[in-house]
Amino acid sequence: MLIVVSPAKTLDFESRVSVPECTVPRLLDDAAQLADVLKSKSPAQLKRMMSISDKLAEQNHQRFQDWDASAHQSANDDGSRPAVMAFKGDVYLGLKADEMTPKQLLHAQDHLRILSGMYGILRPLDRMLPYRLEMGTTLKTKRGKDLYAFWGSRITDELNAQLAATKTPLLLNLASNEYFRSVRAGELNASVVAPVFKDFSNGKYKVLSFFAKKARGTMAAWVIKHKVKTLKKLVSFAEDGYTYDEASSTENAPVFLRTG
C-alpha cells in the first residue's frame, strides 16, 4: 500500500530532529526550474499570486532568493530538513513522525509520499528547503499556465514506479482535493481508496476540516506502524475514537465515524 498526503503551510526548521538517513528529492531538477521562475517575482507579485500578507510575501521572496539545489545534497547544516519533520500542519499532528522509530521512518520512506507544489512529490526523508507554494497556485511557466500543467505526468510516474517496487496495487489517498488533482488517477497502476472521516456535530455526522485532516495523519501513521497492505485490514482502523461504518461506505470511500 502506498499513501499520499498533502504538505502543510506551517513549517518547523528549528527544532532538533533525528532520522536514520536523508535523501535527495527525486524531482529536484524540476523544483530548480520552478525556483528560477519564482526568483524573478517581486514581493508584490508573490503577494498577489498567493493571496498572502506583505510579511509572508517578503519572507517567501527571500526564501526563493536563497533557494539552492545543492543544499539538498549536503550532509552539513545547510538549512534543509527531512520533509516529514519540516511540515507541522493538522495532518502532521496526527502523523507524529517525531515519535516514530528509525525502522518505522524507513518503512514510511517506502510507503508514504507527500505531494508538493514546489517539489512535486517528496519521500519522508527527502531534504527540503522552506517554501510556500500551494499546488493550486496559478504560476505560468514554459510548461503551462499553472502548477498542474507544470508537473504534468511526473508525479503520477513517480507513484507508479514506487507502486511497482512495493508490489502493492493500492493507493491510499489521504491528500486534499487540491493536491490529489496533481495525480492523474486514470493513469495509476493501482486502485485508489480515499477514506472519509466524519464527526457527530449538531445532530448529524459531517466532515469537520481540522479533525478530518488530523485523522488522515493518524491513519497514515497507523498504516505505517502496522504495515497494512489490504483494504480488509484498513477498515479495522479504530484510532482516536473513529470506527468504520459499513452502511455509509463504498469500496473506494470507506467512512469512519466518531461520536465525540
Neighbours of 246 (CB within 10 A): 8
Note whether residue 229 is domain-resident: yes
Note whether residue 87 is domain-resident: yes
How would you classify the pairing of strands 196-201 and 255-258?
parallel
Element (DSSP H or E) covering residue 112: strand 112-116
Give pLDDT tens digits for 165-213.
988 899 999 999 999 999 999 999 999 999 999 999 999 999 999 999 9
Residue 155's domain comprises 2-26+81-258
Report how many domains make up the chain.
Answer: 1
Rounded (5°) CA angle 170-197-223: 40
The pLDDT-based confidence of 79 (bands split at 50, 70, 90) is confident
Note whether residue 66 is domain-resident: no
Rounded CA separation 245/260 (Å): 15
Rounded CA separation 169/175 (Å): 18
Give pLDDT tens digits for 231-248.
999 999 999 999 999 999
Are 100 and 108 a contacting pair, CB within 8 Å? yes
Mean pLDDT of all residues belonging to the chain: 95
Note whether residue 59 is domain-resident: no
Give pLDDT tens digits for 128-176.
999 999 999 999 999 999 999 999 999 999 999 999 998 889 999 999 9
Rounded CA separation 213/204 (Å): 19
Provide the pLDDT for residue 52: 96
Task: Retrieve residue 75's grid coordinates.
Answer: 550532509
Note whether residue 34 is domain-resident: no
pLDDT above 70 for 23:
yes
Note whether residue 37 is domain-resident: no
Are 146 and 137 a contacting pair, CB within 8 Å? yes
Are 3 and 172 a contacting pair, CB within 8 Å? yes
Note whether residue 61 is domain-resident: no
Note whether residue 180 is domain-resident: yes
Distance between first and last Cα of the chain:
30
